[in-house]
Amino acid sequence: MSLSAPEFQFLRTMVYRDSAIVLGEDHSYLLEARLAAVAQSQGIADVSALARRLQRDNDPTLRRKVVETMTTNETSFFRDLGPFELLRTKVFPDLLQRRASERSLRIWSAASSTGQEACSLGMTLLEHHRSATAGWDLRILGTDLSTTIVEKARSGTYTQPEMNRGLPAPLLMRYFARSGAAWQTLPVLRDMLDFQQMNLAAPWRPLPKFDLIFLRNVLIYFDEETRRAILTRVRSVLRKDGYLFLGGADTIRDPDSGFECVRSGTTHYFQLKA
């Protein structure tokens, strides 16, 4: 049986409360299509029965499964290329100079999905700035709402089709090893990475100050109020000369955000206003 209007309303409110993801009226079909698989895996007759079960029991495990199913985890290695090119030519050289006495860099891939973005940040450093960072403490934190996705990122295991999306063959050979039919990150890359579950829209655990934050292709799922609240908190964990990269479709509309947009070719990033 398909969802009744009140059941749809109940589910979209639940998804919003737990993730801040906004599902419009026109997302009813998407919700049904994705939740059909959850219902089936739980031995529940259909999506309508799933909604009723959640209303009745408020089972936190089932609730989490439903919310995670509504996340879009689309990602790839070196997604959009432009930001990574800018890291290589401008951002990392600048940060390496500024942090020369500290010899440490803290990078955050917020909404890291299955980890390809964090791996790409690490490979950019290793490929192009390895000798300049020898002996440095380089840490890349990847966080995501979805525990299932974070577990996959932690495993560092990628299928061949995932490798085919954006990863040049020489990098595949240098930073990954065969693991059965899949590929696994090698320690030189893996040791820089740490993946943790974190909801950007809920109170944050204490975080270090970051030199570079990638918050790409996630703000689009939130309403303006949530975007503003997240960016305010991002501001508090970005070092005053740090860099923030958003996705191509994300922007900062609020003139009082405290960020200024810097354009460089076809790419742009944000820095804190002086």
Interface residue with ligand SAM, options 74, 97, 169, 178 (CB under 6 A): 74
Our measurement of the distance from residue 166's CA atom to the centroid of its chain's CA atoms, rounded to an integer in Å, reads: 17
Decide if residue 123 touches ligand SAM (CB under 6 A). no
Task: Choose the stretch contacting ligand SAM; rule: CB under 6 A; options: 15-23, 33-41, 51-59, 169-177.
Answer: 15-23
Give the Cβ contact number of residue 188 at 10 Å: 13
Q: Please report whether residue 138 would count as binding ligand SAM according to CB under 6 A.
A: no
225 binds ligand SAM (CB under 6 A): no
Name which of 93 and 248 has its Cβ closer to ligand SAM: 248
Binding test (CB under 6 A) with ligand SAM, winner from 28, 48, 75, 185 = 75
200 binds ligand SAM (CB under 6 A): yes
The Cα 225–Cα 150 span in angstroms is 26
Nearest approach, Cβ of 1 to ligand SAM (angstroms)?
Answer: 28
218 near ligand SAM, rule: CB under 6 A? yes
Stretch that binds ligand SAM, among 19-27, 124-132, 151-159, 168-176 (CB under 6 A): 19-27
Supply the minimum distance, in Å, between the C-beta of residue 146 and ligand SAM. Answer: 4
CA-to-CA dists, residue 114 to 23, 72, 105, angstroms: 22, 11, 22
Q: State how far the Cα of 202 lies from the Cα of 43, in Å rounded to an integer.
A: 31
Nearer residue to ligand SAM within complex by CB, 149 or 238? 149
Among 48, 53, 61, 111, CA closest to 250: 111
For the record, the structure tokens of 273 come out as 């206003």
CA distance 155 to 39: 27
CB of 79 to ligand SAM, least distance (A): 5
The minimum distance between CB 255 and ligand SAM, in angstroms, equals 25
Cα separation values, 191 from 118, 122, 141, 186, 237, Å: 12, 10, 11, 8, 23
